[in-house]
């Protein structure tokens, strides 16, 4: 009986992992090579945390939007650009009234504006990159296996977390819980309890399923792993690589006083 139960658990875990590994191709018609995406993400972090003027930041946001449009995600690009415009205008407005009351809020919104491009590009990378492609890219650049596993699981976990939030919110509506901004402001504790408790409980189950499935698939094996995907750097990858590198190079040169 114990062997039968273990076999059933292994079969279930294998099925779960197979479903995760053979997920349908992203909706985007085109996508950047994962190695190029990782490099650009690193460059955007340099741009975000280095002191400079506004133009590199605006250029980085526009380039991220162009990447999204090139990947076939026009609606997402427009949403991100609108959000960036709101934050940008809010930051410009709040610095016009410097006082003790707005100082902390101004610092927060300025920091958020700086790192906005990082989140913008990362969201597009997650939406357009298959888990197997990312794992293959990380293996090709010889990252430790533990790091490859962590990044691959994160790529599947965070979208799953978003879906769980949506599912719980829909279940709350079906049960008569109002999700309007006014109801949330009136009863924030009740809203957090009804939303977070089911989500955390469900995510714990999902994490356990992924862990069991990974073990069944031999994630801890010392054998050399192969990949189903063959990665190639295209001309568009090179173009975007040059553009983002140029923005980051300007930021570095500006920091050291080479350019004004």
Sorted by where each begins, the domain ranges of the chain are 28-130+232-260, 143-228
Whole-prediction pTM: 0.73
Element housing 5 (H / E): helix 2-21
Per-residue pLDDT tens digits for 123-151:
899 888 887 788 888 888 888 877 877 77
Range list of β-strands (E), 51-150? none
Tokens of 7: 């076999």
Tokens of 241: 């690589």
- Most confident listed range (20-34, 90-104, 123-137, 168-182): 123-137
CA distance 56 to 58: 5
CA distance 67 to 48: 18
CB-CB contact of 20 with 225 (8 Å) = no
pLDDT, mean of residues 158-175: 81
Element housing 259 (H / E): none
Characterise 218 by phi-psi region: left (phi > 0), alpha (psi -120 to 50), beta (else): left
Q: What is the pLDDT of residue 260?
A: 67
Query: Is the per-residue pLDDT at 11 higher than 70?
Result: no
């Amino acid at each position: 009986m114990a062997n039968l139960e273990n076999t059933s658990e292994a079969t279930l875990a294998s099925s779960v992992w197979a479903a995760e590994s053979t997920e349908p191709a992203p909706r985007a018609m085109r996508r950047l090579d994962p190695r190029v995406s990782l490099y650009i993400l690193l460059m955007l972090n340099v741009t975000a945390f280095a002191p400079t003027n506004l133009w590199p930041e605006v250029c980085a946001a526009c380039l991220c939007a162009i990447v999204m449009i090139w990947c076939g995600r026009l609606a997402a690009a427009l949403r991100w650009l609108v959000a960036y415009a709101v934050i940008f205008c809010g930051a410009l407005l709040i610095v016009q009234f410097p006082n003790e009351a707005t100082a902390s809020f101004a610092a927060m919104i300025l920091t958020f504006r700086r790192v906005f491009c990082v989140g913008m590009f990362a969201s597009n990378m997650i939406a357009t990159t298959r888990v197997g492609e990312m794992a293959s890219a990380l293996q090709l650049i010889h990252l430790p296996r533990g790091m490859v596993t962590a990044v691959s699981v994160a790529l599947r976990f965070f979208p799953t977390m978003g879906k769980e939030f949506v599912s719980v919110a829909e279940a709350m509506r079906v049960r008569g819980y109002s999700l309007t901004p006014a109801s949330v402001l009136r009863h924030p504790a009740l809203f957090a309890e009804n939303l977070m408790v089911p989500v955390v409980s469900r995510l714990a189950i999902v994490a356990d399923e992924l862990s069991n499935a990974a073990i069944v698939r031999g994630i801890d094996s010392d054998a050399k792993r192969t990949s189903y995907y063959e990665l190639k750097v295209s001309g568009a990858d090179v173009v975007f690589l040059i553009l983002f590198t140029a923005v980051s190079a300007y930021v570095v040169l500006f920091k050291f006083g080479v350019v004004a």
